[in-house]
Amino acid sequence: MIDNNIYRFNIQKLNGEEISLSEYKDKVLLVVNTASQCGFTPQLKELAELKDAFAGKDFEIIAFPSNDFGGQEPLEGSEIETFCEIQRVNYPVFEKIRVRGPYAHPLYKFFAEKKENGKLSSVPRWNFHKFLIDRSGVVTDFFYPFTKPLSSKIRKRISRLLAKGK
């Protein structure tokens, strides 16, 4: 059987500490690649509002800064952390990674290959590409950068996954 959930992957916090995505078991996740100097950067605040809209529910947003598109993430480590504090980011932001190409983080290689994740093939075309993950760690959908975090499309899909329960 294909191991089609994200829980086998480890990720690094901005402080270098490694965690397993299995820490997010039983939560609905929105995984987003971000950048501090992108035209879509205002979505950081919208993502915070989205998280607030689902406060008290089993929902989390996890963000991965990436410099893969137009050099729009020049910041590193503590600089990213400071930028996110100024932006009032209320969700975990992890270490800067590659999200496409041969050096992409294994999680993003997983998203890119339907034969790996069992659902879809999606490589980010720009910053703020979003992946929706269900409570069992399975990729269920993706949204292009121009789909705003507070759009009814994203909110309805999150609500539907949360309604399925554990």
In which band, very low, low, confident or very high, does the pLDDT at 166 lie, cut at 50, 70 and 90? low
Q: What is the mean pLDDT of residues 104-109?
A: 97
pLDDT for the residue 29: 98
pLDDT score of 97 more than 70 = yes
Q: What are phi and psi of 45, to 5 degrees?
A: -70, -40
pLDDT score of 64 more than 60 = yes
- Of the residues 35, 38, 44, 84, only one is catalytic, namely 38
What is the overall mean pLDDT for the chain?
95
Tokens of 117: 């994740």
Q: What is the mean pLDDT of residues 132-145?
A: 96
pLDDT score of 153 more than 90 = yes
Active site residue 38: yes
Amino acid identity, residue 69? F
* CATH classification number, 6-161, choose in 3.40.50.2300, 3.20.80.10, 3.40.30.10, 3.30.540.10: 3.40.30.10
Task: Give the sheet arrangement for strand 28-34, strand by strand.
Answer: 59-65, 28-34, 130-133, 139-143
CA-angle at 47, arms to 131 and 161, nearest 5°? 50
Instruction: Output the pTM of the full model.
Output: 0.96
The DSSP code for 91 is S
Q: What is the mean pLDDT of residues 131-140?
A: 96
Measured CA to CA, the distance from residue 40 to residue 130 in angstroms comes to 12
Measured CA to CA, the distance from residue 41 to residue 84 in angstroms comes to 11
For 102, the 3-state DSSP assignment is coil
